[in-house]
Structure 1
Amino acid sequence: MESPPPQWIKCNTDAAWHKDQQRCGVGWISRDEYGRMLWAGVRSFQRLGSPIETEAEGIKWAIHSMSRLGYKQVIYETDSQVFAKMINGHEEVWSKLKPLIQEIQHDISGILTTRLCYIQKKNHVPKLYSIVPDWLKLAFETDMSDVSSNNVG
């Protein structure tokens, strides 16, 4: 993964869709110029019509989340080349996706320093950890402190 320029954030998104499932899922992770995780999110949706619609919903949610968190210089990366071409005006937008793409384009047009681009997905070997990796440790510690404080009293 290439780091974003100084003062920028990179937000990678991905989606999971299966034609026989009633639910699909999306996720995103944002990192600073040093590769440190800032925020991440996962979410499920009720049945969406296609993988590309699921990708679009994931990107829309990531854009809304990063905007609410106050980030103004964000590079969004998706592994959906067709979607990236549609959102950037390099390919005709499918009629079913027009409202969703128009909403995303409107959202990113209000933030002049936001970009959305395609990044080729690499084949990753699954990894199992016996300890919490450094990049995820803070998230686990935060979750554990939330659980502990909710169980007190």
Structure 2
Amino acid sequence: MEQVPKQQPVNKTAFRVLVALSVTHCLNDSLQSVISAVYPLFKDDLALSFAQIGLITLVYQLSASVFQPITGLVFDKRPVAWSLPIGMSFTLVGLLNLAFSSTLHWVLISVFLIGIGSSVLHPEASRITSLASGGRRGLAQSLFQVGGN
């Protein structure tokens, strides 16, 4: 008689972890919205042209998107327990620096740091979301996405 392989028990979905990740995603993406909200202030206070405002957007978008696959690859190979707080720290430092920026140079550094924070958060939080899913990856990922949308 042939033995039927035992099914592995499905891990329980870690809803507290998923809610925490969703809230973190919400905070991160809300902070990203601050950048475009302060464009009129930068334009007036720093006497910036529309081309310079566009440069701010370019630096932020490049740092937030281009580095995501790189950080995802790095953390897949070597997961770091503190990567999410480190990513949020980059965002915090960038945001605080942005608040006190008095030149375009400092604004660009600030938005670069904010973008790096975002590029660390998204792939790592997505990885942790998958781990916390308990096999319900679609539900887990959708709960994570709710925070960012």
The two structures have a TM-score, normalised by structure 2, of: 0.21
Structure with higher RCO (Cα < 8 A, 6+ apart):
2
Higher relative strand content: 1
Higher relative helix content: 2
Compare CA radii of gyration and give the structure with the larger one: 2
The two structures have a TM-score, normalised by structure 1, of: 0.21
